[in-house]
């Protein structure tokens, strides 16, 4: 895909996807090893509902922007269960997997930072010192 086409496509991508797309540009030639894909899958299982919704949006956006001629209602052989959507990473393009990995890393880091900020403000003083005149 030429640069001009990519730049045109970036204009209609949602900001999170556009950021992740740029962040993984230099990695697009790398393939994730099987064990790393398994580890990523385990991390994804631990994410909250909001993160899963973002993941679906990322996957769908990638399909709509990069593979317009291969449109399907559920991209990359996704399957809908009672309360979730399941997908096989082996059916996804490598670049999309790298984008997902980048999202998971950023999301987990954001949750950790948010938690540590909350913990900081919730801590009660352990000791107080009064000064006497």
- Beta-carbon contacts of 20 under 8 Å, excluding residues fewer than 6 positions away, are 58, 99, 102, 103, 106
Coil, strand or helix: which one is 86? strand
Task: Check whether 73 has a pLDDT greater than 60.
Answer: yes
- Beta-carbon contacts of 117 under 8 Å, excluding residues fewer than 6 positions away, are none
Task: Check whether 68 has a pLDDT greater than 60.
Answer: yes
pTM, two decimal places: 0.73
Task: Check whether 12 has a pLDDT greater than 60.
Answer: no
Q: Which residues pair with 79 in a beta bridge?
A: 86
Are the C-beta atoms of 60 and 74 separated by less than 8 Å? Answer: no
| Average pLDDT across the chain, whole number | 79
**Surface-to-core class of residue 58, CB atoms within 10 Å of its CB (0-12 exposed, 13-18 middle, 19+ buried):** buried
């Amino acid at each position: 895909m030429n640069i001009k086409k990519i730049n045109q496509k970036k204009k209609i991508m949602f900001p999170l996807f556009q950021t992740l797309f740029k962040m993984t540009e230099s990695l697009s030639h790398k393939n994730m090893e099987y064990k790393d894909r398994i580890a990523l899958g385990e991390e994804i299982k631990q994410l909250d509902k909001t993160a899963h919704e973002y993941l679906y949006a990322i996957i769908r956006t990638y399909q709509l922007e990069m593979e317009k001629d291969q449109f399907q209602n559920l991209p990359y052989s996704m399957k809908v269960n009672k309360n979730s959507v399941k997908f096989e990473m082996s059916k996804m393009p490598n670049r999309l997997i790298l984008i997902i990995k980048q999202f998971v890393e950023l999301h987990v880091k954001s949750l950790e930072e948010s938690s540590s900020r909350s913990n900081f403000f919730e801590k009660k003083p352990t000791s107080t010192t009064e000064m006497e005149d």
